[in-house]
Amino acid sequence: MRRLTITVAQLNWYVGAIESNAARMLAVMQQQPPTVDLLLFSELALTGYPPEDLLFCDDFHRRCQQQLQQLAAATQQVALLVGHPWLVEGRLFNAVSLFWKGECLIRYYKQCLPNCGVFDELRYFTPGSNNGLIDFKGYRLGLLICEDLWEEAPLEALTAAGAELIVSIHASPYDRYKPRQRRRLLARQARQSARPIIYVNQVGGQDELLFDGQSLVYTAQGECCYRFCQFKEQIATLCFQEQQFTAGPPASRALSLTAQCYQALVLALRDYVTKNGFRRVLLGLSGGIDSALTLAIAVDALGSEQVQPLFLPSPYTSALSGQVARQQAATLSVNLLELPITPVMQAFTQQLQPYIAHDKTGSVTQQNIQARCRGTLLMALANEQNALLLTTGNKSELAVGYMTLYGDMAGAFAVLKDVLKTRVYQLAHYRNQLSSVIPLAVLERLPTAELAPNQCDQDSLPPYPILDALLRCYIEQNQSPNALIAAGFAETLVRQVVRLVDNSEYKRRQAPLGPRVTSRCFGKDRRYPVTYSWA
């Protein structure tokens, strides 16, 4: 009776940390019992994904080859399948190698190289053309790498060649609807090919990208028999016997879309901070919903002792803002520093008086001075504490330019960069369902920057439910202004919002990184010129 025992390692890799990534693989190999036949790692696991222009460094490939040799030598008890770059005769491939008894049984090159959205693989890699079929311990395994599974031809070729089990390794970034798309894809491909599929993904944050894990196992009938957890590392063993999976990990609990998004932001922040060598973060806590949610995420990601909020009131800051900021800080057990900016504002204004003497209270200049006073103080304290400064703005504000360069945009990581304002409220309500950490008054008050007397966001912007509906269509779905008007949005509103979005590109180019949680974020997904004319 044919039997294959396979361990799937869904792990969080560090980009560029070739030696430590390889050392971790060796450690996992050593932990496997003698009954395990094959150990699976994800796409480009050796280097982390995506290595980007590190791939242009010659030394990078020398180090990869050295570690691959060590990994191959260690495969005396268990075989190893690992993704890595491979440079041969001046051509670079996105490869996967199967090592056993010190030898490379097969090295397969990725055929379908994505070059859209967040992917730039044609910049680096040459498409492969070899067939990923290998006989291993009585089974014919078919190997694929990520995009190969999304296309029809590579899987059809493996099926025609007689593959009995498909192993597909991935570095598949998360977005709000990607898990559902993957499940549909795997069900269809397994059913059409009549072959079981093991889908291996990685987990963790890498700059603006986020990998959610959730590796999957599908039967030849297109049914999901095992699902790994989301946003967590997991190592689990599968038993494959006579074309059927007979054992595997218990199914992880399915998360709602809002719960997924929240956990994604927590993981993204934790990895960005820790992988870049920081221990602490700072943020401005204003008494508004965005900073309240950012604080909750930061504490969940790093712990209360590693989070430093600052309350920086101006003459226009309401008593309510101070009250709710103190309340939330106490609830989350963080030490809130209060640092009024009025003296700094007055110093700036006095210095500039000869040039802005006739400037009115509440003007853009006066508002921006306040925001930049706060940004300067926050950056100074971040420097002093060797901490990372978080910005708290959301995607709606970033879209229409409702933020201040070198003011509330000052910082290193924008946790809510890809979260529209209406979703900020959804996430805040979700977090309060876990435990009440965001004061009710924050959720109920009208959004305001408090940079001018009696100011509300809706003085300058359409109501957020309407604005966000437009932004989803224009930015995330890439619909044209004419299509938006035809869909029922008022023409004057469409022209106003589109003009605001297009004219704010120069600001977004100077914004910090933030985690991608939708199908189209500001960053790699959306690359518009700063200077252009579009009739």
Burial of 492 per CB tally in 10 Å (0-12, 13-18, 19+): exposed
Residue 44: its pLDDT value, please?
97
Q: Are 46 and 68 in contact (CB under 8 A)?
A: yes
Among residues 64, 110, 229, 476, the one annotated as catalytic is 110
| Structure token pair of residue 384 | 């002093």
Among candidate residues 463, 459, 462, the one with its CA nearest the CA of residue 450: 459
Residue 437: its pLDDT value, please?
96
| Structure token pair of residue 26 | 């060796």
Specify whether 473 is catalytic.
no
Residue 518: its pLDDT value, please?
93
Beta bridge partners, 513, equal 413
Rg, Å, the chain Cα set: 26
Q: Are 466 and 400 in contact (CB under 8 A)?
A: no
Q: Are 242 and 151 in contact (CB under 8 A)?
A: no
Among residues 64, 112, 121, 146, the one annotated as catalytic is 146
Q: What is the model's pTM?
A: 0.94
List the chain pLDDT tens, one digit each, 535 residues: 678 999 999 999 999 999 999 999 999 999 999 999 999 999 999 999 999 999 999 899 999 999 999 999 999 999 999 999 999 999 999 999 999 999 999 999 999 999 887 888 999 999 999 999 999 998 999 999 999 999 999 999 999 999 999 999 999 999 999 999 999 999 999 999 999 999 999 999 999 999 999 999 999 999 999 999 999 999 999 998 888 888 788 877 788 999 999 999 999 999 999 999 999 999 999 999 999 999 999 999 999 999 999 999 999 889 999 999 999 999 999 999 999 999 999 999 889 888 887 777 778 888 889 999 999 999 999 999 999 999 999 999 999 999 999 999 999 999 999 999 999 999 999 999 999 999 999 999 988 776 777 777 777 888 999 999 999 999 999 999 999 999 999 999 999 999 999 999 999 999 999 999 998 899 888 888 888 776 5
**How far does the chain reach from its first CA to its final CA, in angstroms?**
69
Count the Cβ atoms, other than its own, within 10 Å of residue 465. Answer: 12
List, in order, residues 6 or more apart from 186 with CB less than 8 Å away: 149, 197, 199, 216, 218, 222, 224
**Secondary structure letter of residue 490 according to DSSP:** -
Residue 241: its pLDDT value, please?
87
SS3 sequence, 503-527? Answer: HCHHHHCCCCECCCCCCCCCCCCCC
Specify whether 261 is catalytic.
no
Among residues 43, 147, 450, 476, the one annotated as catalytic is 43
Question: How many whole angstroms separate alpha carbon 286 and alpha carbon 310?
Answer: 8
Count the Cβ atoms, other than its own, within 10 Å of residue 129. Answer: 7
Question: How many whole angstroms separate alpha carbon 73 and alpha carbon 87?
Answer: 20
Question: How many whole angstroms separate alpha carbon 240 and alpha carbon 31?
Answer: 20
List, in order, residues 6 or more apart from 139 with CB less than 8 Å away: 2, 4, 164, 165, 240
> Ramachandran region of residue 239, left (φ > 0), alpha (ψ -120 to 50) or beta?
beta
**Interior angle at CA 389, CA 387 and CA 391, nearest 5:** 165
Residue 534: its pLDDT value, please?
64
Which helix (DSSP H) or strand (DSSP E) does residue 441 occupy? helix 440-444
Q: In 3-state terms, what secondary structure has residue 20?
A: helix
Question: How many whole angstroms separate alpha carbon 228 and alpha carbon 329?
Answer: 35
Among candidate residues 125, 118, 131, the one with its CA nearest the CA of residue 85: 125
Residue 159: its pLDDT value, please?
95
Question: How many whole angstroms separate alpha carbon 291 and alpha carbon 424?
Answer: 10
Residue 348's φ and ψ, nearest 5 degrees, are -60, -50
Residue 38: its pLDDT value, please?
97
Q: Are 83 and 51 in contact (CB under 8 A)?
A: no
